[in-house]
Amino acid sequence: MNQSEALQMLAAVRDGNLSPEEALNKMKTAPFDDLGYAKIDNHRSVRQGVGEVIYGEGKTPEQICGIVSKMLENGAGDIIVTRLCAEAAGNLRKICDLEYHPLPQFGIISRDKAKPLVGKIVVASGGTSDMPVCEEAALTAEVLGNNVTRLYDVGVAGLHRLLSKLDILQNARVIIAVAGMEGALASVIGGLSSCPIIAVPTSVGYGASFGGVAALLSMLNSCASGVATVNIDNGFGAGFIASRINQMEAIK
């Protein structure tokens, strides 16, 4: 049950077309569907404004298909599946209209392409190798209704590349800075921009980067004000919180 459906049900009670007892029964049964291997949270969109997102890694293709099928049956749209492997994507295509992006392993089902996009989120990457995480962030933000501008391969090893896009950075409402190695990009962008910066460390780098821990610590210790950091390779988390910030600004 999404927010619109909940409002329709309450209006039906108000107008006498639905008894309070029937509405109560719907509220009791709607909160989640138990599939045995997953309990689908049908009230997520009522509480948070966005439906449940499926994390595909660790789930079998059959489990992912089962969850998506039930969500579609319940009228869900803009269903996001992150970390969706090619095999599971192939299975999903047999049961639904899947938009699949292989680089970030990101799937979108029943996308509302007519949804108006607001504000401006910029996703910037240190290098091309960071693009899978960048695309996870950018696609998440776009599905949630935000305008997204991509600035890829603008890392500190060639700072002039970033400085040539200064006008884009300074006109953004939120910037997602994605970098591996030493993770310096977030601090540099933080020193050039007045909007909130969401730093995403990636696992890109040689041995002493420790799978992204070096970049994570650099970003957590940023000397630039206004920089917040999410977990290693968590493009989805960055895109989600950037959407929240951007849309709060857009409402003003």
DSSP conformation class of 120 = E
Handedness of CA 210, 213, 218, 221 (dihedral sign): negative
Share of the chain above pLDDT 90, in %: 69
Other CB atoms within 10 A of residue 3 CB? 13
185: nearest Cα among 207, 202, 206: 202
Average pLDDT for 179-208? 95
211 CB-near residues (< 8 Å, 6+ apart) = 203, 205, 232
Q: What is the DSSP letter of 165?
A: T
Q: What is the pLDDT of residue 2?
A: 57
Q: Which amino acid is at 110?
A: S
**Whole-prediction pTM value?**
0.86
pLDDT at 76: 85
Tell me the domain boundaries of the chain: 31-109, 118-251
Spatial distance between the Cα atoms of 131 and 138, rounded to a whole number of angstroms: 10
Joined together, the tokens standing for residue 29 give: 């049964």
- HSE (side-chain half, CA atoms, 13 Å) at 72: 16
CATH top-level class for 118-251?
alpha beta
> Rounded distance, CA 184 to CA 227, Å?
12
- What confidence tens digit (pLDDT) does each residue in 26-54 have? 666 667 777 888 888 877 777 777 888 99
Nearest CA among 128, 139, 194 for reference residue 161: 128
